[in-house]
Amino acid sequence: MIAVAELIAALEDPKRTVQPTDLWALDALGYRVATTRIVPAALTADGAVAAGVPPLDATWYPRVIHALLLRQEPAEERGRALKRVNAAFVVLDLAKAASQGCDDLESSATARLEQLLVR
């Protein structure tokens, strides 16, 4: 879990300039985001509502990907944003596996992150 935890910590770093794509990545990780303030989803839905963030529904992921694809930004920037969302999806999978007591999570997490992030 070290690799996953480090990734999340990097995303939570308050000194880091928060970009829209970071917010989407964080949201995919299960965090609610309001402006530059990060509210962990674990603080309950009430916390998200208090932070002024509307609840997410099942159409959220397709809508985010669609919005990314429609943006008229340079392809390189769009690529980096999609790559970050891709990594967030993987981490989300790993987090789900962790919550279900996956025994070999650390090795699989490390392998997947190396494959997906280090390359």
Partner 1 sequence: MTTPRTLPLTVLLHEGPIGRAYLLQLERDGVRPAAVVRMVARTHPVTRRPLGRWLPGSFGLAYAERAEEASRMHWPRAIRRSVPAVFDAVRSALERWRPGSTLLLDRLADRIDDGTCADRVIKVRANGPRDRAVVPALREAGQPIVLFTGGGIVPPAVLDAGIRFLHVHPGYLPYVRGADGLLWSTLVRGRPGATSFFLDRGLDTGPVVCAREYEPVTFALPFRPDDQTLYRSVYSWYDPLLRAACLSDTIAAHPDFALVAGEPQNPRVGETYPFMHSRLRRAALDRIFWT
Torsion sign over Cα 59, 64, 70, 75: negative
Which residue in 30, 38, 47, 86 binds partner 1 (CB under 8 A)?
Answer: 86
Per CB under 8 A, does 23 bind partner 1? no
Min dist. Cβ of residue 43 to partner 1 (A):
25
Q: Which of residues 62-81 bind partner 1 (CB under 8 A)?
A: 62, 65-66, 69, 75-76, 78-80
**Identity of the residue, 34 or 80, whose beta carbon is nearer to partner 1 in the bound complex:** 80
**Identity of the residue, 37 or 66, whose beta carbon is nearer to partner 1 in the bound complex:** 66
**Residue 13: what residue type?**
D
Neighbouring C-beta atoms of residue 33, cutoff 10 Å: 19
Burial of residue 47, with CB atoms counted within 10 A of its CB: 0-12 exposed, 13-18 middle, 19 or more buried: middle
Neighbouring C-beta atoms of residue 19, cutoff 10 Å: 13
Maximal CA-CA distance, the chain: 43
Site residues (vs partner 1, CB under 8 A): 61-62, 65-66, 69, 75-76, 78-80, 82-83, 85-87, 89-90, 93, 115-117, 119
